[in-house]
Structure 1
Amino acid sequence: MAIDLVARSEWRARAPKGSYSSLHSTKGVKVHYTGGRVDPRIVDDHDRCVALVREIQDYHMDGNGWMDIGYSMVACPHRKVFVGRGPRHLPAANGPGQNSGHYAVLGLVGNKGLVEPTDGMLLGILDAIDYLRAHGGAGREIKGHQDGYPTDCPGGPLYAWIRKGAPRPKASPSKPAPEEEPIKITLVDGVPQWPGRVLRVTEPMMRGADVRIWQEKLAKRGWKIDVDGWYGPKSALVCRGYQRATGLSPTGKVDEQTWAMTWSWRPPAPCEPGMVDEAN
């Protein structure tokens, strides 16, 4: 899988206050965590990841007085990698005397709330490391922030993973698919009527004809969505984008009002629907 980069323009990064110091090669990468509480809801809502990265940049620039966010790259639970200072630029997060030796990659976990990195986040960190090796001359070392600097960062779970050699997460054993709930779809003047259940992210994942019909309609309207009949986090992400575009509350749940709006109004589809809220 190619790296899924979130460019600075996409997360609406502030411009740096000055010029970056150049960095042509490093021993490797140091991995970080936020050091504070991370809202667990970011796992199901990528918009919250975007907002959190902006908050971190604001804190670094306005609180620490740094010229920019201190990290080279940031990985979120959805295996997306935000460009911070990027390759070939000196980071600021490793500590005095530590920045020229390693790039800095943040995993969006903290010491409260969300503390365990998801497999998607670990893969995102590895994607960021590969990217910095390919484009920034990063060496083979993968260290924690606490290696060489007195801190608890990157926290117990991330540091334990690093101490194991930062292994790539193994695919989870496939679970038997639950029986598809029989859903009756009624057409009125060719328009599917709401089947009576709210589509939302659940465990096990909701599936059925109503999910597929709703996905098909969003896809026909130009929204990038997998038409697979399963209502998972990606469908919820697109749903929130569509709800914002139509003036509905962005719950990520297809209720009766959202279902009706899917067939009654057509908003312009953004390039990456649901990924970034350009209105805020």
Structure 2
Amino acid sequence: MKLVSREGWGARASRGSTRLSSTRGVKVHYTGSRVDPRLATDHARCDDAVRGIQRSHMDGNGWNDIGYSMVCCPHGYVYVGRGPHRLPAANGAGLNSGHYAVLGLVGSSGLTEPTDAMLDGIRDAIDYLRREGGAGKEIKGHRDGYATDCPGKALYAWVREGAPRPGGGSSAPAPSRSVGRVPAWPGRLLTQPPVMRGGDVRTWQARMRERGWRIAADGAYGPESESVCRAFQAEKGLAADGVVGPLTWRAAWEAPVT
């Protein structure tokens, strides 16, 4: 699971919330408006899209926060909206306490078809809300409780099929990997320099950017970020203790991108 925290996508502070102990399940949503098709190929736009939805909900609707519990982008990243144990606002008056609200970032025009990665992300969000928020087994569309076209033809057909994982994969929860404020790209993310002594970190960062990896040069780095970098070290046969010679690093830099 590729989980993006509220801090990670730059959420505004909530103006207040009502606690939920549990729900009967989740309801799946789409935006009900045009979604820029460029989101499908440019993940850097996804954070902006989530912030725009929060801005619309807070400044336009007068809500306390973004209305959704979780938001899933075309690349399979799961954004924490209001999150678990918080009353959503998107299901409709009188209906919010029964289900969490999970948005797939597709709309009524532009980008209308969910990607397999998005469907996986929605399943990840559902599993997360069951594990962390006491969500029950129900998976419904917004229209199942409210007079609306939401979540659109494609997503609703998927919900009616039982919301299966693409390819028939298991719906068991996947391990979470938190993503910070750095744009995240599937298969190309490192959020801290490798643990190393005596190495030229800036040179390493520059060369890895050339290979298509996204590097966060500054900031606080947690244990999950460290594990990603250590996995890279293991993949390239680099010393686990971080004592890495320049020839070893040059070999890693010049190795084919896989």
TM-score by length of 2: 0.68
Shift of 1:221: 2.1
Are 1:223 and 1:269, in contact at CA under 8 Å, matched by a contact in 2?
Answer: no
Matched pairs, number: 190
The equivalences for 1:1-150 within 5 A come to: 3-18=1-16, 20-150=17-147
CA distance 1:268–1:112, change in 2 (3 Å): same
> 1:71–1:92: 8 Å Cα contact kept in structure 2?
yes
Unpaired stretches in structure 2, ≥5 consecutive residues: 170-201, 226-258
Distance apart, 1:88 and its partner CA? 0.4
Amino acid corresponding to residue 16 of structure 1 in structure 2:
S
Matches within 5 A, 1:177-188: none
Residues in 1 aligned to 2:121 and 2:207: alpha-carbon distance in whole angstroms:
24
3-state SS, counterpart of residue 140 of structure 2: strand
> Over alpha carbons, which structure has the higher Rg?
1
Measured in 1, the distance between the counterparts of 2:205 and 2:147 equals: 53
User: Alignment partner for residue 220 of structure 1, among 204, 210, 214?
Assistant: 204
Distance 2:31 2:207 in 1: 33
Distance 2:207 2:3 in 1: 20
**Counterpart AA for 2:10:** R
1:32-57 CA distance string (max 9 Å, x none): 00011111111111111100000000
Q: Could you give the per-residue CA deviations for residues 216-262 of structure 1, whole angstroms, max 9, x where no partner exists?
A: xx9932787897xxxxxxx4xx4xx68xxxxxxxxxxxxxxxxxxxx
Identity %: 62
Residue 158 of structure 2 is aligned to residue 161 of structure 1: yes
Q: Which has the higher contact order (CA 8 A, sep 6+)?
A: 2
Q: Which runs of 4+ in 1 moved over 4 A?
A: 222-227, 269-272
Q: Contact 1:219 / 1:225 at 8 angstroms: preserved in 2?
A: no
TM-score by length of 1: 0.63
Native 8 Å contact 1:116 1:157 kept in 2 = yes
| Higher percent of residues as helix | 2
**Native 8 Å contact 1:222 1:269 kept in 2:** no
**Residue by residue, what CA displacement relative to the aligned partner does 1:50-93 show, whole Å, maximum 9, x if unpaired?**
00000000000000000000000000011110000000000000
Paired letter, 2:7: S
* Structure 1 portions without partners, runs of 5+: 173-217, 228-234, 243-266, 273-280
Shift of 1:268: 3.6
